[in-house]
């Protein structure tokens, strides 16, 4: 445990100092950290899933607090929690099914088991299934079990007396951790290979003699365009430079080395050139539950230009960028302001920006936001590693990857209202 | 039975209206539709008896009740007349044979409709909850010995409830939800019929708590969307929206509310009363002033009488107009609705639903040649709505059909 704590503190420091750049790197490191946390957690004999969930929540809460704007951290924490619940559920249903068979065969051993052998199995399975799904109309009239009930029902279902039960339980305790770590390994694998999966779909969307517009630099977009190039599509790319970091310059250079015809333009020229463009393809920092996109600054303007000229606006995002939260006031709450030095040279402007002389506050303010919020109605298509989706379909993907109980990652119970 | 404030404002115009208002000829029986004083009974027998399972089909009982609960000045004189006559709705009168299906069914349908009426009159209780409680009473009173029989009885009761007021969507949705739950329960192979039955009754009774819990969940979910210094436009008196605003006020958020007057019920006056009690700054607007003030508004909050399959909502008349204005000025429209209001309807335009008419009072007599638009509700298509706050979570309009499919298919 102290070993893991050192790792956790290390990672928190890195997050706080913004030393990790990019959501892919952040997600991968978060997943690896949580994997070590899980493998080092001691699980009790009963209610193992609950213990794992508590451990992950405790660490996850600290991680999210270290960098709340980096949504990928929260996404991975919630994915891990969902994986734990899922694995526990599949083990429980397997155990119950096994016990159902055994209780039928052993029914002369215990008379009162005959009262509800089949009933308890079916009801337990149904109840357990319903805890994993988000609340829905179907479960409205049923009992709403509390979040600790998933291991509870499985252990109570397993409580129907059986001599084979103790053997089942010990094998189950090893299995749960093992299954969760396997699933986590798959998750890490998915995160690292998301670019390839997205790039595979490039050839369906980019056609011959097209003009593509992009802004700034995104590795996903680079791989996407190169994949289409390899399939012998010939097309041209307009790259907007993406002030103030000018990462568009790097992207333009990369594209040229791969043999693509590239044109570099300023951000202000986007509106002028958009009418000659067939499609806009960009990456994203995060995708919110309503289909809105947190993207590098300048992309809201590009999206508006694209809508004005009826150009499809395509967003490429790996599934680790999918966040189950709904944004309220994202321009302020999900944004980070970076250093003004990226815009202005402190040497020349020191007299305007100096706090020390005379007046209390300087007359020149510099605002350098990192992100922009693009509302869902401006996005035409999301391309994720699972395929292409409409913005209004994002809620389905979220239901697949996350559980409703994990939206608020807090250790202390929420104050009842 | 009628929960009203003690100040009993007799509106002279309302008293004079029945003889003067010749336009809506059915107005007279409407105002008496919820009780049957014996002396007028004979003349309005066919139209307006509450123990008659099918009230005047032209007038929506649902909207009458809503008006009575939430409007400021309504048929107070009715309550007075009711008290004067000494009529108690719980009395079981002689059965109205001409409008009952069969003598044996009359006893049951009687029970259900009576029971439903009793529950429905409580102002804090949602219509769907009243329906489910009425159906629970049917289960309790039933003499069936198998699940199949019970289901058939419930189906009959549910159908009679639905036909009693065809315009109320939450009533239909509540009945359907409960029937669906019953059929699924019977599929779980309970060996003992009595235990299954008691489980059904217990669940139905717990459903009433769900209604209050649902409102609190919705209030919690919407807290984040109300920020300090915002201006909220509210239309119609929705108990859910009131809960949302109450919770926000309790959390010490600073915001102000614009209330539309909400003709003809004038629900805005009532709502502004409630908000003033919470010390929330309120401004009343006439319905036509919405576009004028829309640029000062940060968000629009409405409730819903029903949420339809496309993700649109059916709500008090005027909601569509406000949503259109808000959409054209890029203001978000948020809907607060409990999940049992989801209904399997897909209206394609405004006239595609069962008409729900209600008497319109213009304050002056209208000549008989002039037609009056008396519909009480309209349909807002999903593209004008931003988000729905329900007890199932925050939803975009496209999620609604998904939820409905999961339930019914």
* pLDDT attached to residue A119: 45
Inform me whether the C-beta atom of residue B224 falls under 8 Å from chain A C-beta atoms: yes
Q: Who contacts B233 (Cβ-Cβ below 8 Å, separation ≥6)?
A: B257, B258, B260, B290, B293, B294, B297, B299, B300, B301, B322, B326
User: What does DSSP assign to residue A327?
Assistant: P
**CB-based contact A118 B189, cutoff 8 Å:** yes
Evaluate whether residue B194 is within a structural domain.
Answer: yes
Per-residue pLDDT of chain A (417 residues; tens, 9 = 90+): 568 888 899 999 998 888 888 889 999 999 999 999 888 888 777 777 888 888 889 899 999 888 888 899 999 999 999 998 988 888 888 877 776 555 444 444 444 444 444 445 555 555 555 555 556 666 666 654 433 333 333 334 334 444 445 555 556 667 888 888 999 999 999 999 999 999 999 999 999 999 999 999 999 999 999 999 999 889 999 999 998 899 999 999 999 999 999 999 999 999 999 999 999 999 999 999 999 999 999 999 999 999 999 999 999 999 999 999 888 888 888 888 888 888 888 888 777 776 665 666 777 888 899 999 999 999 999 999 999 999 989 988 988 888 877 777 765 444 433
d(CA A123, CA B143): 27
Residues of B in contact with A290 (CB under 8 A): 387, 396
Q: Does B234 lie in the same domain as B350?
A: yes
CB atoms within 10 A of CB B25: 9
* pLDDT attached to residue B53: 47
* pLDDT attached to residue B182: 75
Domain end call among B193, B213, B233:
B213
Q: Using alpha carbons, select from B279, B261, B257 the residue that is nearest to residue B270.
A: B261
Q: Does B242 lie in the same domain as B199?
A: no
Lowest mean pLDDT among A178-192, A287-301, B84-98, B300-314: B84-98
Domain end call among B190, B213, B236:
B213
Q: Give the burial string for B204-226 (b: 16+ CB within 10 Å, else e).
A: beebbebbeebbbbbbbbbbebb
**Residue A293 is inside which H or E element, if any?**
strand A293-296
Interface list for B 148-187 with A (CB within 8 A): 177-178, 181, 184
**CB-based contact A290 B387, cutoff 8 Å:** yes
d(CA A311, CA A313): 6
**CB-based contact B189 A392, cutoff 8 Å:** no
**CB-based contact A141 B216, cutoff 8 Å:** no
* pLDDT attached to residue B122: 74
Cβ-nearest to B387 among A138, A141, A326: A326
Which domains does chain A carry? 1-192 (1.20.120.420), 195-335+370-406 (3.40.50.10470)
Q: Does B314 lie in the same domain as B196?
A: no
**CB-based contact A141 B403, cutoff 8 Å:** no
Structure tokens given for A8 = 């956790």
Cβ-nearest to A328 among B225, B339, B403: B225
CA distance A141 to chain B (A): 6
Inform me whether the C-beta atom of residue B191 falls under 8 Å from chain A C-beta atoms: yes
- Dmax (CA) of chain A: 94
ipTM, 2 dp? 0.73
Evaluate whether residue B7 is within a structural domain.
Answer: no
CB atoms within 10 A of CB A186: 11
Inform me whether the C-beta atom of residue A396 falls under 8 Å from chain B C-beta atoms: yes
CA distances from B312 to B237, B346, B350, B383 (A): 19, 9, 12, 8
Inform me whether the C-beta atom of residue A290 falls under 8 Å from chain B C-beta atoms: yes
Evaluate whether residue B264 is within a structural domain.
Answer: yes
Residues of B in contact with A141 (CB under 8 A): 177-178, 181, 203-204, 207
Angle in degrees, CA A211, A213, A214, rounded to 5: 150
Evaluate whether residue B84 is within a structural domain.
Answer: no
What is the percent of chain B where pLDDT is above 70? 72
Residue from B216, B332, B392, B408 whose CB has the most chain A CBs within 10 Å, to mutate: B392
Looking from the CA of A246 toward its CB, the CA atoms found within 13 Å total 5
**CB-based contact B396 A122, cutoff 8 Å:** no
Domain end call among B196, B213, B230:
B213
* pLDDT attached to residue A97: 76
Cβ-nearest to B203 among A141, A328, A376: A141
Strand partners, B314: B306, B379
Q: Using alpha carbons, select from A265, A271, A147 the residue that is nearest to residue A215.
A: A265
Residue B173's pLDDT band, with cuts at 50, 70 and 90, is: confident
Q: Who contacts B240 (Cβ-Cβ below 8 Å, separation ≥6)?
A: B214, B215, B218, B219, B303, B336, B337, B338
Q: Does B245 lie in the same domain as B118?
A: no
Mean pLDDT across B227-254: 93
Evaluate whether residue B53 is within a structural domain.
Answer: no
CA distance A276 to chain B (A): 28
Residues of A in contact with B340 (CB under 8 A): 137, 140
* pLDDT attached to residue B29: 40
The pLDDT tens digits of the residues spanning B335-390 come to: 999 888 888 889 998 988 888 888 888 888 888 899 888 888 899 999 999 999 99
Strand partners, B335: B302, B388
Residues of A in contact with B216 (CB under 8 A): 417
d(CA B134, CA B76): 27
Mean pLDDT across B309-318: 92
**CB-based contact A137 B404, cutoff 8 Å:** yes
Q: Does B403 lie in the same domain as B310?
A: yes
Q: Is B67's pLDDT higher than 80?
A: no
B360, burial (CB in 10 Å: exposed 0-12, middle 13-18, buried 19+): middle
* pLDDT attached to residue A151: 38
Q: Using alpha carbons, select from A362, A359, A360, A339 the residue that is nearest to residue A350.
A: A362
Q: What is the extent of the structural domain holding B209?
A: 112-213
Q: Does B403 lie in the same domain as B313?
A: yes
The pLDDT tens digits of the residues spanning B246-269 come to: 999 999 999 999 999 988 788 889
Inform me whether the C-beta atom of residue B406 falls under 8 Å from chain A C-beta atoms: yes
Q: Who contacts A137 (Cβ-Cβ below 8 Å, separation ≥6)?
A: B177, B339, B340, B342, B392, B403, B404, B406, B407
User: Residue holding tokens 């009715």?
Assistant: B78
Evaluate whether residue B355 is within a structural domain.
Answer: yes
Q: Does B387 lie in the same domain as B251?
A: yes
Inform me whether the C-beta atom of residue A329 falls under 8 Å from chain B C-beta atoms: yes
Inform me whether the C-beta atom of residue A216 falls under 8 Å from chain B C-beta atoms: no
Domain count, chain B: 2
Structure tokens given for A221 = 């977009």
Q: Give the burial string for B313-325 (b: 16+ CB within 10 Å, else e).
A: bbbbbbbbbbbbb
Q: Does B227 lie in the same domain as B271?
A: yes
Cβ-nearest to B340 among A118, A134, A140: A140
Evaluate whether residue B59 is within a structural domain.
Answer: no
A93, burial (CB in 10 Å: exposed 0-12, middle 13-18, buried 19+): middle
For residue A114, give the chain B residue with the closest CA: B191
* pLDDT attached to residue A200: 92
Q: Does B158 lie in the same domain as B255?
A: no
Residue A25 φ then ψ, to 5°: -65, -45
Cβ-nearest to A137 among B204, B342, B398: B342
What is the percent of chain B where pLDDT is above 90? 28
Strand partners, A381: A314
The pLDDT tens digits of the residues spanning B24-63 come to: 333 434 443 333 334 333 333 333 344 444 455 566 777 7
Spatial contact of B45 and B29, defined as CB atoms under 8 Å apart: no
Q: Give the burial string for A215-233 (b: 16+ CB within 10 Å, else e).
A: bbbbebbbbbbbbbbeeeb
Cβ-nearest to A136 among B184, B225, B403: B403
B79 or A147, higher pLDDT: B79
* pLDDT attached to residue A211: 96
Count residue pairs from A and B with Cβ separation < 8 A: 67
Lowest mean pLDDT among B13-17, B359-363, B389-393: B13-17
**CB-based contact A417 B247, cutoff 8 Å:** yes
Question: Sign of the C-alpha dihedral, residues A179, A185, A189, A194?
Answer: positive
Q: Does B380 lie in the same domain as B306?
A: yes
For residue A123, give the chain B residue with the closest CA: B188
Inform me whether the C-beta atom of residue B225 falls under 8 Å from chain A C-beta atoms: yes
CATH number of residue B162's parent domain: 1.20.120.420
d(CA B288, CA B278): 26
Q: Does B224 lie in the same domain as B189?
A: no
d(CA B12, CA B68): 17
Backbone dihedral region for residue A287 (phi beyond 0: left; psi -120 to 50: alpha; all else: beta): beta
CA distance A404 to chain B (A): 9
Q: Using alpha carbons, select from B307, B374, B35, B56 the residue that is nearest to residue B172.
A: B307
CATH number of residue B310's parent domain: 3.40.50.10470
Evaluate whether residue B56 is within a structural domain.
Answer: no
Inform me whether the C-beta atom of residue A400 falls under 8 Å from chain B C-beta atoms: no
Spatial contact of B112 and B137, defined as CB atoms under 8 Å apart: yes
Residues of B in contact with A378 (CB under 8 A): none
d(CA A76, CA A55): 15
CA distances from B42 to A252, B37, B47, B98 (A): 88, 10, 10, 14
Q: Does B263 lie in the same domain as B354?
A: yes
* pLDDT attached to residue B401: 81
Inform me whether the C-beta atom of residue B394 falls under 8 Å from chain A C-beta atoms: yes
* pLDDT attached to residue B189: 59
* Helix pair angle (A394-401, A71-105), 10° resolution: 60
Spatial contact of A313 and A303, defined as CB atoms under 8 Å apart: yes
**CB-based contact A137 B188, cutoff 8 Å:** no
């Amino acid at each position: 445990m102290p070993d893991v704590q050192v790792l956790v503190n290390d990672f928190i420091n890195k997050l706080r100092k913004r030393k990790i750049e990019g959501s892919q790197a952040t997600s991968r490191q978060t997943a690896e950290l949580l994997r070590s946390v899980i493998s080092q957690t001691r699980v009790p004999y009963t209610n193992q899933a609950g213990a794992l969930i508590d451990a992950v929540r405790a660490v996850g809460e600290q991680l999210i607090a270290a960098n709340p704007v980096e949504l990928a951290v929260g996404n991975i924490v919630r994915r891990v929690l969902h994986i734990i619940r899922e694995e526990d559920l599949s083990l429980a249903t397997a155990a119950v099914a096994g016990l159902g068979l055994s209780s039928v065969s052993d029914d002369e051993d215990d008379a009162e088991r005959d009262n509800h052998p089949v009933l308890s199995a079916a009801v337990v399975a149904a109840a357990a299934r319903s805890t994993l799904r988000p609340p829905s109309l179907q479960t409205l009239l049923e009992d709403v079990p509390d979040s600790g009930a998933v291991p509870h029902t499985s252990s109570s279902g397993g409580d129907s007396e059986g001599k084979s039960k103790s053997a089942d339980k010990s094998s189950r305790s090893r299995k749960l951790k093992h299954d969760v770590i396997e699933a986590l390994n798959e998750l890490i694998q998915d995160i690292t290979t998301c670019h390839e999966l997205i790039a595979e779909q490039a050839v369906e969307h980019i056609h011959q003699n097209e003009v593509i517009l992009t802004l700034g630099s995104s590795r996903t977009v680079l791989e996407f365009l190169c994949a289409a190039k390899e399939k012998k599509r010939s097309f041209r790319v307009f790259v907007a430079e993406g002030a103030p970091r000018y990462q568009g310059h790097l992207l333009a250079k990369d594209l040229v080395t791969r043999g693509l015809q590239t044109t570099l333009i300023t951000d202000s020229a986007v509106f002028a050139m958009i009418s000659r463009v067939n499609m806009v393809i960009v990456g994203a920092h995060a995708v919110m539950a309503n289909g809105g996109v947190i993207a590098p600054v300048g992309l809201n303007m590009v999206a508006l230009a694209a809508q004005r000229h009826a150009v499809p606006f395509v967003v490429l995002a790996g599934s680790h960028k999918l966040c189950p939260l709904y944004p309220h006031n994202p321009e302020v709450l999900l944004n980070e302001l970076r250093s003004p030095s990226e815009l202005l040279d402190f040497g020349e402007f020191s007299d305007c920006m100096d706090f020390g002389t005379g007046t209390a506050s300087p007359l020149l303010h510099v605002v350098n936001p990192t992100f922009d919020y693009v509302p869902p109605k401006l996005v035409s298509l999301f391309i994720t590693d699972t395929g292409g989706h409409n913005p209004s379909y994002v809620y389905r993907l979220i239901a697949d990857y996350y559980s409703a109980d994990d939206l608020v990652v807090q250790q202390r119970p929420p104050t009842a209202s | 039975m009628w929960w009203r404030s003690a100040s009993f404002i007799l509106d002279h115009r309302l008293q004079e209206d029945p003889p003067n208002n010749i336009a809506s000829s059915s107005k007279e029986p409407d105002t008496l539709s919820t009780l049957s004083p014996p002396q007028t009974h004979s003349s309005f027998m066919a139209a307006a008896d509450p123990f008659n399972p099918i009230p005047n089909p032209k007038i929506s009982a649902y909207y009458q009740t809503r008006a009575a609960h939430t409007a400021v000045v309504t048929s107070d004189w009715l309550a007075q007349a009711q008290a004067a006559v000494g009529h108690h709705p719980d009395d079981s009168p002689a059965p109205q044979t001409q409008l009952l299906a069969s003598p044996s069914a009359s006893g049951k349908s009687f029970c259900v409709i009576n029971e439903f009426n009793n529950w429905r009159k409580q102002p804090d209780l949602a219509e769907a909850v009243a329906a489910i409680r009425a159906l629970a009473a049917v289960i309790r009173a039933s003499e069936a010995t198998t699940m199949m029989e019970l289901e058939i009885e419930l189906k009959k009761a549910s159908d009679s409830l639905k036909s009693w007021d065809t315009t109320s969507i939450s009533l239909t949705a509540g009945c359907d939800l409960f029937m669906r739950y019953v059929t699924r329960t019977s599929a779980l192979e309970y060996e003992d019929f009595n235990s299954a039955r008691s489980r059904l009754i217990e669940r139905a009774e717990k459903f009433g708590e769900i209604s209050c819990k649902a409102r609190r969940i919705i209030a919690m979910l919407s807290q984040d969307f109300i920020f300090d210094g915002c201006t909220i436009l509210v239309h119609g008196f929705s108990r859910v929206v009131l809960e949302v605003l109450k919770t926000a006020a309790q959390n010490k958020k600073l915001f102000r509310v614009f209330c539309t007057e909400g003709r003809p019920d004038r629900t805005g006056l009532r709502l502004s009363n409630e908000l003033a009690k919470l010390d929330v700054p309120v401004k009343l607007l006439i319905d036509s002033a919405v576009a004028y003030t829309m640029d000062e508004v940060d968000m629009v909050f409405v409730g819903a009488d029903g949420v339809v399959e496309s993700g649109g909502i059916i709500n008090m008349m005027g909601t569509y107009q406000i949503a259109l204005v808000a959409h054209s000025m890029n203001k978000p429209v948020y809907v607060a609705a409990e999940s049992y209001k989801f209904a399997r309807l897909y209206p394609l335009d405004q006239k595609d639903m069962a008409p729900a008419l209600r008497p319109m009072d213009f304050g002056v007599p209208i000549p008989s040649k002039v037609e009056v638009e008396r519909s009480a509700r309209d349909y807002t298509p999903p593209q004008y709505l931003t988000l729905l706050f329900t007890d199932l979570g925050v939803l975009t309009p496209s999620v609604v059909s998904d939820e409905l499919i999961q339930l019914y298919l």
